[in-house]
Amino acid sequence: MSCILTTMRKPKKDEIPVSKISHTTVYADFSGVDGDGKILYLNPKCVLVGLDGVPYMLFITADFNQDDLTKTIGGELYQVKRLVLQHTFSYVSPEKRSYCKIPDWLLAFKKIEWLKFKYVELDELWLFRNLPVQHLVLQNVRFNDPTIFADSIIQFNLLNQITHDNCLNKELISKIASALPHVKFSYETE
């Protein structure tokens, strides 16, 4: 998805107007949107996609200010069923990538069924345990204590699928699978 910003300056007498076009690309995967999704809100740190005018999927970066979005969308924002949290929407070379923490305000969501983290520190993943998350997607995440991380995932009562990259090793997968034998694991890279 791309956003084109145009600025114009007032021309002087007998001068041709000049426009400057800046091109910003937002990398967001809309493949999970079933039906006719429409962008309800867009800025460089947030994309909100709706189905039939109702918020459905939210792509955010950790430094996004939720007040901007709640003023525009209102309480319906918290009806979102899919959430993607990633460090940035811009392309960053692998050697310059960094990780973000989970913003506290995300705990206000109560209906998230599909949750994706990309370049996020997940030491506090347990805070989401009461959400009806069925599918957890982990890409390039990190955590300090593998045992606490696995225990956090095990607390997700409705979880039935985990999609991951190399962030989960065989030991972690085994521990989670023994506690949640119904959960399916799938490996996926960027």
Which residues, other chains included, contact 121 with Cβ-Cβ below 8 Å and sequence gap of 6+? 99, 100, 101, 102, 141, 142, 143
> Which pLDDT does position 151 carry in this prediction?
96
> Which pLDDT does position 161 carry in this prediction?
98
> Which pLDDT does position 31 carry in this prediction?
60
Which residues, other chains included, contact 96 with Cβ-Cβ below 8 Å and sequence gap of 6+? none
> Which pLDDT does position 95 carry in this prediction?
81
Half-sphere exposure of 1 (CA within 13 A, CB side): 19
For the chain, domains (ranges, CATH) are 29-187 (3.80.10)
The answer to whether the pTM exceeds 0.85 is no
Question: Average pLDDT by consecutive 10-residue portion of the chain (190 residues)?
Answer: 44 50 49 72 90 90 84 85 91 84 91 96 94 96 96 96 96 97 92
> Which pLDDT does position 6 carry in this prediction?
39
